[in-house]
Amino acid sequence: MKITQINARVLKGRPEKSVVFAAGRYPEFSAVLVTIETDEGIIGYGESIARSGGEATKEAVEKLFAPLLIGKDPEKIEGLYLFMVNQLRRFGHSAGIIIEAISGIDTALWDIAGKKANKPIRDLLYGAGRDELEVYASSVYIAKTEEMIAETKDQMAKGHTMIKLKSGHSKESGGKYADIEKIRAIREAVGDKVELGLDANSAYDAADAVWMAKRLEDLDICFFEEPVHPDNLDGYAAVRQHSSVPLAGGETVFLAYGFRKFLERGLLDVVQPDLARCGGITGARHAMVLTHAFGARFAPHTGFSGGISHLAALQIASAAPELYRLEYMFIDNPLREIFIGGYPTPANGKIKVPTAPGLGLELDLDLVDKYTVA
């Protein structure tokens, strides 16, 4: 089997309600859908993350990598992955759009392999093979206190036993004081019947992150995600030194080398690779093995990505040696619902893993066309 064509398209979709967190207000979701065709008629789909500027990622897929891969055997996935990474890494490209483009290509290759073998990707990974995964509900975004409490209770009523909250108020809206006040109010309102995680999206410097972490100890927070910028490993170390709250992160980390830096220093308790950014399924598999080796918890990130990335996360989570939880985004995201029959909905805090070949669900190409902008 040979690769005959590689294309990418930019997708954008607007939810009914935008979300607000430390990075600002997001009124729109975007993603880059990668399509790889073969001489046997098998088509694979992957996704590259694209918070903005998806056109640049599309160009990277089609202009940098497609010429290198056309004519090659798509089933030699690890070799092609290293070939792509090494081609660009020697020129200093070990992060950013380049690796995000590779992520989409890699996932599409795995989708082809699964369809060729008539198996879901999780079975090709020969891992745990879970049929059902525990999830945490994500996320209760920054809003008025009573709205955040109501949304947390609504997710509890739907059977979720772990829920992620957002923090990161701007200085003008109260900063860290508003953050801790709202988190405390939510904990008091819901009691101890639910686990609460907190995602700061790198809102704090090291001093404020330590200030927050010390106060979170009394609120029984199960993890503190991205307390500082992911480049600030010393900031993570400061929070680790002064607080017992478990630390989480990884959605903005690239390749195994990036995760190794955190794990070697013992800075992450919960490792959260995003498959549309970290290097696709191969990159997430490397992170999964490192996480297991260092005794941390594995919890793939899904976030604002589209449906292909969410499906890839389901497949890798199913195969992981040990799984903490998978992030389930309960917010409205039209780009996740691009499959015939829709994306799986959890029940009582658990989600079923699709078992059809490859990624497990069939794209609704009419919906894909609807959201295509480039």
User: Is 3.30.390.10 the CATH number for 3-118?
Assistant: yes
CB burial of residue 112 (10 Å; 0-12, 13-18, 19+): buried
Query: Which pLDDT belongs to residue 87?
Result: 86
Q: Does the structure show a pLDDT above 90 at 183?
A: yes
This prediction has a pTM of 0.96
pLDDT, tens digit (0-9, with 9 covering 90-100), for 255-307: 999 999 999 999 999 999 999 999 999 999 999 999 999 999 999 999 999 99
- CA distances to 111, 120, 365 from 356, rounded to whole Å, are 11, 6, 17
Q: Tokens 């108020």 label which residue?
A: 169
Mean of all residue pLDDT scores within the chain: 96
Ordered by start, the domain boundaries in the chain are 3-118, 123-371
Q: Which of 163, 166, 145 is nearest to 154 (CA)?
A: 163
Task: Say yes or no: domain 123-371 is CATH 3.20.20.120.
Answer: yes
Mean pLDDT of the 51-79 span: 96
Q: What is the pLDDT of residue 71?
A: 98
CA distance 205 to 202: 8
3-state SS, residue 107: helix
Please report the pLDDT score of residue 52 as a whole number: 85
